[in-house]
Structure 1
Amino acid sequence: MRIFQKYQPLLVAKHVKVFFSGRLYIHGRGAFSYAKGMIVMPDNAKPEHKKTVKEINQLITQMQSLA
């Protein structure tokens, strides 16, 4: 489990893309899990969680299209 002290979307996206599956925690945002190189939407996601998941997954998609 990786713990991020600050929410830095690009850093989180790089971590998720490299490690492919696992869990992470973002201080002030909460815990997230990821599989197949993308963050998985939690079942009981609050609007803040949904926004974070969407933002990070968009960055991952952009990174994959550039490579």
Structure 2
Amino acid sequence: MRIFNKYQPLLIAKYVKTFFSGRLYIHGRGAFSYAKGIMVMPEHADERHRITVHEINRLIGKMQAPAEAV
């Protein structure tokens, strides 16, 4: 279990994508689990958990999407 003392969405997204499955704790936000490279919504999630999971998963999706050519 990895503990993040500060909420840094990009760092957490990179961690989840890299380690693929496990558990983590974010100080001030609570415990989360992740599987298949994305965060999983807890069964009894409050609004703060929902916002965090959606934000992290959105960042993971952006990292996996191919970059547009300019």
**What RMSD over aligned residues (CA atoms) do the two structures have, in Å?**
0.9
In the alignment, the residues of structure 2 paired with residue 6 and residue 66 of structure 1 have an alpha-carbon distance, to the nearest angstrom, of 29
Query: Is 1:48 paired with 2:48?
Result: yes
**TM-score between the two structures when normalised by the length of structure 2:** 0.93
1:10-45 superposed Cα distances (whole Å, 9 cap, x missing partner): 000000000000000000000000000000000100
Q: How does 1:1-67 map to 2 (within 5 A)?
A: 1-66=1-66
**TM-score between the two structures when normalised by the length of structure 1:** 0.97
In the alignment, the residues of structure 1 paired with residue 21 and residue 42 of structure 2 have an alpha-carbon distance, to the nearest angstrom, of 15
Q: Match for 1:44: what amino acid?
A: H
5+ long unaligned stretches in structure 2: none
Question: Larger Cα Rg: Structure 1 or Structure 2?
Answer: 2
Aligned length: 67
Give the helix-richer structure, 1 or 2.
Answer: 1
In the alignment, the residues of structure 2 paired with residue 66 and residue 42 of structure 1 have an alpha-carbon distance, to the nearest angstrom, of 29
5+ long unaligned stretches in structure 1: none
